[in-house]
Chains A and B, each alone.
Chain A
Amino acid sequence: MVIIDRGFNGWRHLVLPMACQDDLLMWSVLAVAAFHHSGRVGAHHLAADPTSLASKAIYELQRRRNLVGCGLEERYRVIMTIIVLLLATMVNGDSDFPIILRMLESALALVTEDASQALSETMQTLAEFAAKQIRKYVPFLLPTVVILCVFQHKKRANDIIRRFNYIKS
């Protein structure tokens, strides 16, 4: 997931250690790994069903969807989880990525509204890493957004751009 996997790799050095401390992030990471492994060796060789792992992560996300009462660190862990689930749709070719994208939009909205809280150094690093991933993916997701604009869903397209652009700034 990085252009060149050598030296620092945020997925390995940030996300994995954090997943060891957060069940939600762990399920999403395991889901991606299981989908990838399943594609290579076949699902019958796996001890865990990747779809079940992804479903667990999404169920827990839905359970935590009321992020208003959560701290900023929790919100960023949720954002990172959603980004990992977005990766899963690339690994398994899932067509549900628009749903994941909408979840990301909702989570980002809560971050932009409450950005004044201080983050720990570790979470700040994770937040910057998450922002980088979103900036990296947005142009590739934008063709879908552009289509929304072309087909007269301009307000929705603009809302998506505005939220993603806050991350860029």
Chain B
Amino acid sequence: MRVFASPFISVEAGISAVAAQATQCWDNQEQALVTHPDHSSTLPIISSLRQIAFYIYLHEATPESRAVLGVLPGLLLEFRQLLHTMPEAVPGEHALIWPVFMAAAASYKHEDRDYYARFLERQLLRSGWANILKALQCLRRIWSRDPERDWVSMLPEQGVFVM
């Protein structure tokens, strides 16, 4: 058994297990790098962005983590800066839909929200997948929520599978 051998003893243990699982989910990246060496500059960026997005989600998913000030702004800044280094429309960009959605949901600056919304709109134009449209609608509901409500708890209510 892997990282989930133990039952969820506590939310913290569960979150840690999810975090550990998340680091192993990109198990075909090494193969992709071997198969597509011409994308060796962008594939690691995609992987890093996914990782940061997992950390953003996990941080926001636990009240104890959310109480630690300064972590989220740092993660969001790192994410935005790294995403900015990705050229537009490169192969594999669609793999960033979920990470961008998470960063967008956690963002509190209008500039960042607009930036991520434009990214998702470009992906919607390219793929035509309706879940991206629903994801954008979901984000607008998240951004206009009661400030007392955390966005993570809103996700299961939205009825959209974002990936």
Contacts and interface: CB of A to CB of B under 8 A. Distances in A.
B152 A4 contact: no
B99 to A, nearest CB: 10
A89 B159 CA distance: 10
Chain A interface category by residue count: 35 or more
A154 B14 CA distance: 9
A91 B14 contact: no
A168 interface: yes
B161 to A, nearest CB: 4
B155 interface: yes
A60 B157 CA distance: 29
B161 A89 contact: yes
B27 interface: yes
Contacts, number: 117
A29 B162 CA distance: 20
B133 A93 contact: yes
Interface residues of B, number: 47
A136 interface: yes
B116 interface: no
Majority SS of interface residues in chain B? helix
Majority SS of interface residues in chain A? helix
A92 B18 CA distance: 28
Contacts of A92: 130-131
B45 interface: no
Interface of B: 1-4, 7-8, 11, 14-15, 17-18, 21-22, 24-25, 27-29, 32, 35-36, 39, 43, 46, 54, 57, 61-62, 91-92, 95, 98, 128-131, 133-134, 152-153, 155-156, 159-163
| 7 nearest A-B residue pairs (beta carbon) | A95-B159, A93-B130, A97-B161, A139-B25, A161-B4, A93-B134, A39-B128
20 contacts: A3-B43, A3-B46, A3-B95, A4-B39, A5-B91, A6-B91, A7-B36, A35-B130, A92-B131, A95-B159, A136-B25, A139-B22, A139-B54, A143-B61, A144-B155, A147-B156, A149-B14, A150-B62, A154-B14, A158-B4
